[in-house]
A = this chain, B = another copy of it.
Amino acid sequence: MSREKPPSVPYRAPRLPGADALRAQFDSILESGIWNRGPIVSRFEREFAARAGVGDAVLCSSATASLTLLLRADAPEGAIVMPALQFPPVFAALRDSGHEAIFADVDPRFWTARSPSLSRAVETAGVSMKFVSGFLGAPSFGETASCPGGEEWGREHAKPVWFDSCHAFGSSLDGRPSGSFGRAEVFSLTPSKLVIAGEGGVVTTDDQALAEELRALRDYGKRADGTFDPRGASARASEWTAGLALASLSLLGDEIDRRNRVIAVYREELAGTVGIEFQASDDRLMANGQECAIRVDAQACGTNRDRLRSALRAGGVESIPTYLKCLPERRAAFPVACALEAELLHLPLGIDVDERVAQRIARSIAEQVAGETPASPPS
């Protein structure tokens, strides 16, 4: 069996807290002897909520579990409007909370569903607005702190709005932090994110009653009277998970700065490259640098996403085709989501990627694209 050589520039390499910072967290757990349902989970929840600019955060075992419990607790019966370009497990959360999906195609520049497309999606699905439960936005790729117009759409139609913001923690829009949009937002703590704990998920909300309900639901749905809410699940995270996340949270500012410096190089170097597009951004946005995806327009580039990826790989640089998928069954009705699924490439942003490395990668992309331009016909 032949094995590929590991890349010299891996796509992902998280910023990990140092041994001393971790030991400080661990020592307090060793001292308390409490491994779950303890003070470190509460402390992490307070600090995470403060960073999100809301009153409450609820730590769970995963983002998908967080979303499932949130929708069980807060989403009225009915169909939930959501972008057609999604991380597929989101769909499992909808099903496990007993909801149908109404997909809205994404905006070709912002790569997420925006306000005008939401009402259109409901209309196309032939669903009466009274059977619509709400809108689950997804500020994907971290180039937005929210989904433009999402909250306004909710207000206009008197529907609740939530955000799957796994890509957005640390971003802000006009100074308003990710985590404070809609009724509630969901985050992930897996190592591909900026704040990490190995595994874990978080719900942020300003609704204290909702937060308390979620704390009960993650704990089997245990009620004070000894009975169990059937919507409950076993979805707690341990004191250790909370300690890891706290150590990581303190590194967030530095990591955002580093990623944004790297992304600035990618954007600058590839600004003039025909056929390579970046996610549209907003002047009011402070992005967290979670992802740096480029759209490879095969016709304009003379090469496609997958060939470009292979070429980079040959030079030791790992990039990945987007893991977001066009989820609807009738894919043809969602041309932008389908196109993006085939054309988006995530560039490396790991801890060992600095501005110099980013420049080298960007130039190699520009060369590939130029190099593959169809030759002029022989004269």
Question: Is the Cβ of A14 less than 8 Å from the Cβ of B35?
Answer: yes
Q: A61 — which chain B residues lie within 8 A by C-beta? A: 61-62, 65, 199, 234-235
Alpha-carbon gap, A340 to B34, bound state (A): 30
Question: Is the Cβ of A89 less than 8 Å from the Cβ of B220?
Answer: yes
Query: 0/1 per residue, A300-317, Cβ < 8 Å to B?
Result: 000000000000000000
Query: 0/1 per residue, A233-267, Cβ < 8 Å to B?
Result: 11111111100100000000000000000000000
Query: 0/1 per residue, A336-352, Cβ < 8 Å to B?
Result: 00000000000000000
Choose among A30, A96, A198, A235 the residue with the greatest number of B CB atoms under 10 Å from its CB: A198
Closest B residue to A91 by beta carbon equals B230
Alpha-carbon gap, A233 to B234, bound state (A): 13
Given A33-B16, A62-B235, A220-B89, A199–B241 Cβ distance below 8 Å? yes
Which of A138-146, A147-155, A189-197, A206-214 is found at the contact surface with chain B? A189-197
Q: Identify which of residues 1-60 in chain A touch chain B, using a CB-to-CB cut-off of 8 Å.
A: 13-14, 16, 19, 22, 26, 30, 33-36
Main secondary structure, interface of A, reads loop
Q: A19 — which chain B residues lie within 8 A by C-beta? A: 30
Question: Is the Cβ of B233 less than 8 Å from the Cβ of A36?
Answer: no
Q: How many residues belonging to A are interface residues under a CB distance threshold of 8 Å?
A: 45
Q: A95 — which chain B residues lie within 8 A by C-beta? A: 230
Question: Is the Cβ of B190 less than 8 Å from the Cβ of A92?
Answer: no
Given A26-B26, A220-B89, A235-B62, A241–B33 Cβ distance below 8 Å? no
> Does A85 belong to the interface (CB within 8 Å)?
no
Question: Is the Cβ of A228 less than 8 Å from the Cβ of B89?
Answer: yes
Question: Is the Cβ of B199 less than 8 Å from the Cβ of A236?
Answer: yes
- Write the nearest CB–CB distance from A337 to chain B, whole angstroms: 16
Alpha-carbon gap, A33 to B240, bound state (A): 16
- Write the nearest CB–CB distance from A154 to chain B, whole angstroms: 26
Question: Is the Cβ of A190 less than 8 Å from the Cβ of B36?
Answer: yes
> Does A335 belong to the interface (CB within 8 Å)?
no
Given A198-B241, A240-B198, A233–B190 Cβ distance below 8 Å? no
- Write the nearest CB–CB distance from A1 to chain B, whole angstroms: 16
Question: Is the Cβ of B233 less than 8 Å from the Cβ of A92?
Answer: yes
Alpha-carbon gap, A237 to B89, bound state (A): 17
- Write the nearest CB–CB distance from A86 to chain B, whole angstroms: 11
> Does A88 belong to the interface (CB within 8 Å)?
yes
Question: Is the Cβ of A65 less than 8 Å from the Cβ of B239?
Answer: no
Question: Is the Cβ of B230 less than 8 Å from the Cβ of A92?
Answer: yes
> Does A232 belong to the interface (CB within 8 Å)?
yes
Given A61-B62, A92-B232, A199–B36 Cβ distance below 8 Å? yes
Query: Which of B62, B89, B198, B220 is A35 in contact with, Cβ under 8 Å?
Result: B198
Q: A239 — which chain B residues lie within 8 A by C-beta? A: 198
> Does A63 belong to the interface (CB within 8 Å)?
yes
- Write the nearest CB–CB distance from A85 to chain B, whole angstroms: 14
Q: A34 — which chain B residues lie within 8 A by C-beta? A: 191
Listed by A's residue number, 5 A-B pairs whose Cβ atoms lie within 8 Å are A16-B33, A89-B221, A92-B232, A198-B240, A199-B238
